[in-house]
Amino acid sequence: MKTLYRQFTVTVFIIISISTLVAFFLANTYYYLVTEELNDEKNVSIALELTEYIETTEKLDLEHYLSTLGQLGYQLYVANEYGYSQFFGSDFANKDLADDVKQNVFDGKVYHGMREYKSWIFMKGMFANELENTVGLPFQYEGKRYGLFLRPNIDLLVTEVHIIFAGMIISMAVISLIAMLIVTKRLIRPITELTEATKQISQENYDHLLQIDRKDELGQLAESFNEMTRKLQENDLSRKEFISNVSHDFQSPLLNIQGYADLLNAQTPTEEERIAYTSIIQAEARRLSTLTKQLLLLTSLDQATRSLRREHYSLDQQLKSLSQKYLWRIEEQGIELYYKLQPVVFYGDKALLDTVWDNLFTNALKYNKPNGSISIELTNSSSNVTIQFKDTGIGMTEEELPHVFDRFYRAEPSRSKEGTGLGLTIVKQIVELHGGTIKLSSESGKGTSVTIIFNKHKGEFI
């Protein structure tokens, strides 16, 4: 497998190699286009001064003078038309020089060997230690025509300073490369850890959090990943708890149905027992039916598969219809019902909101006291529409209140009322889908109040 670190390392070496070649090519091109000409002119100027000095100085010991120049860092070759030929300074690696070149210099022409040296590879013209790679000027000494061929001694020009600078440049390159590889390794490490953490999550191990303390983009990615892991962990726990609760809530009525059905089949019950067993089976069947419907609705809301079917309708009339729907239960329990409704035209999903009002109203009936009361109030202000359901029922304790919207949560006193623990969860999700908020307050033994607020500025009203 090609690791990111290996790919980055190879890429760095390739970039360094290519940049080195390009830089050398540019330097080489600059040398042959600019520096070579300047180098030739500079050395011609030096040779011209030397020949003028030779010609204007009386009683000059030519060989001693040229030997001194050779010791000062020049390579020299002197010849005349009568066969005299002598080298001064360090030796040339190649001493070949055409006779016609020498003759042209004897005749008074200047030889531009540095400028005309044929080489286009690696600035060879600067370093080639050859007699052809010189400049040549004519001069006269003791009435004879001579030629002076000159070039700087490269070995003497490369001083300790040049070596120090070259070493410094090489050291900087090596140190930079090593530092870059170390930094790259440090940058890659969080990605490696992230890859391992991703594998752990794919195996449903949500305890593997990244220990990356950085302030850059990788740190932000690690923090986002940890936050995602925590959410997945919470969802996993919720899912397991949900499955456990669903299994329990389905199993209990099914066992009851099976048990009482067996009793009906296993013996000859009295009419009174038959009616009792049958009514229990019917109640458990209704409970299963209600639970199934609520689970389907809750799944639809969770997955956002049910888009809101909004329409304009009278919210106050929808609330009034509750008394007609549950009139028999109201009369049976002796409940007093109070309405205080202001006219409101609402833009929302009528069917879903009908589920909200049904849940709140049936809870108020179910957990109310005999001959208690229920009040429903609808207030239309300039900024909000507020709906409040208030009953005089058994209420809840302070410990129970924080959990009322949790799935499958049922307070202890309500367990005998055959609730599913999903009603208020569904209510909350539907209200929030419509952009509203819901609050519940209760006092044990005195009753419960549920308040829903819709903000007009969110466009639910006309």
- CA-based nearest residue to 346, from 375, 322, 316: 316
Average the pLDDT over 143-169 and give the result: 77
A 10 A CB-CB count for 125 gives: 23
The domain of 142 spans 4-158
The tens digit of pLDDT for each residue in 11-27 reads 777 887 888 788 877 87
> What pLDDT does residue 416 have?
43
User: Where is pLDDT greater, at 35 or 408?
Assistant: 35
Binning pLDDT at 50, 70 and 90, where does residue 139 land? Answer: very high
User: Where is pLDDT greater, at 72 or 191?
Assistant: 72
The tens digit of pLDDT for each residue in 446-458 reads 899 999 999 886 5
What is the distance between the terminal CA atoms of the chain, rounded to a whole angstrom? 63
Is 420 part of any domain?
Answer: yes
Q: Is the full-model pTM beyond 0.95?
A: no
Tokens linked to 241:
């708890």
pLDDT at 194 over 60: yes
Q: How many domains does the chain have?
A: 2
CATH number of the domain that 430 lies in? Answer: 3.30.565.10
- CA-based nearest residue to 67, from 46, 49, 88: 88
Q: Residue 248 burial by CB count (10 A; 0-12/13-18/19+): exposed, middle or buried? A: exposed
Query: How far apart (Å, rounded) are the C-alpha atoms in residues 200 and 236?
Result: 14
Asked whether the beta carbons of 349 and 434 are under 8 A apart, the reply is yes
Binning pLDDT at 50, 70 and 90, where does residue 159 land? Answer: low
Q: Work out the mean pLDDT of the chain and round it to a whole number.
A: 81
- Among the three residues 114, 141, 158, which one is the final residue of a domain in this structure? 158
- Among the three residues 133, 158, 183, which one is the final residue of a domain in this structure? 158
Q: How many helices (H) and strands (E) does the chain have?
A: 14, 12
Q: Residue 108 burial by CB count (10 A; 0-12/13-18/19+): exposed, middle or buried? A: exposed
Is 366 part of any domain?
Answer: yes
- Spell out the residues 6+ positions from residue 126 whose beta carbon is closer than 8 angstroms to its own: 31, 35, 36, 39, 154
Pairing of strands 336-341, 373-380: parallel
Query: How far apart (Å, rounded) are the C-alpha atoms in residues 146 and 321?
Result: 129
- CA-based nearest residue to 349, from 323, 378, 320, 312: 312
Q: Which residue has the tokens 């962990």?
A: 233
List the strands of the sheet with 144-152, edge to edge. Answer: 85-88, 74-80, 144-152, 135-141, 111-112
Is 225 part of any domain?
Answer: no
Is 392 part of any domain?
Answer: yes
Q: What are phi and psi of 122, to 5 degrees?
A: 55, 40
- Among the three residues 109, 129, 158, which one is the final residue of a domain in this structure? 158
> What pLDDT does residue 316 have?
92
Average the pLDDT over 309-335 and give the result: 87
Is 274 part of any domain?
Answer: no
Is 218 part of any domain?
Answer: no
SS3 for 432?
helix
Query: How far apart (Å, rounded) are the C-alpha atoms in residues 230 and 211?
Result: 14
SS3 for 378?
strand
Query: How far apart (Å, rounded) are the C-alpha atoms in residues 121 and 324?
Result: 103
Sign of dihedral through CA atoms 317, 322, 325, 331? negative
- CA-based nearest residue to 246, from 398, 396, 400, 425: 425
Asked whether the beta carbons of 367 and 358 are under 8 A apart, the reply is no
Of the chain, the percentage scoring pLDDT greater than 90 comes to 23
Query: How far apart (Å, rounded) are the C-alpha atoms in residues 19 and 211?
Result: 38
Asked whether the beta carbons of 383 and 457 are under 8 A apart, the reply is yes
The tens digit of pLDDT for each residue in 413-439 reads 444 445 566 778 888 888 888 889 999
Greatest Cα pair distance in the chain: 158
> What pLDDT does residue 160 have?
56
DSSP for 211-257 reads ----SSHHHHHHHHHHHHHHHHHHHHHHHHHHHHHHHHHHHHHHHHH
Find the helix or strand (DSSP H, E) in which 389 lies: strand 384-391
Is 443 part of any domain?
Answer: yes
Query: How far apart (Å, rounded) are the C-alpha atoms in residues 148 and 63?
Result: 12
Is 147 part of any domain?
Answer: yes
Tokens linked to 248:
């329990």
Pairing of strands 384-391, 135-141: unpaired
The tens digit of pLDDT for each residue in 26-75 reads 877 777 777 778 888 999 999 999 999 998 888 889 999 999 988 888 89
Query: How far apart (Å, rounded) are the C-alpha atoms in residues 44 and 311?
Result: 99
Asked whether the beta carbons of 151 and 43 are under 8 A apart, the reply is yes
What region, left, alpha or beta, does residue 87 occupy, with left being phi > 0 and alpha being psi -120 to 50 degrees? Answer: beta
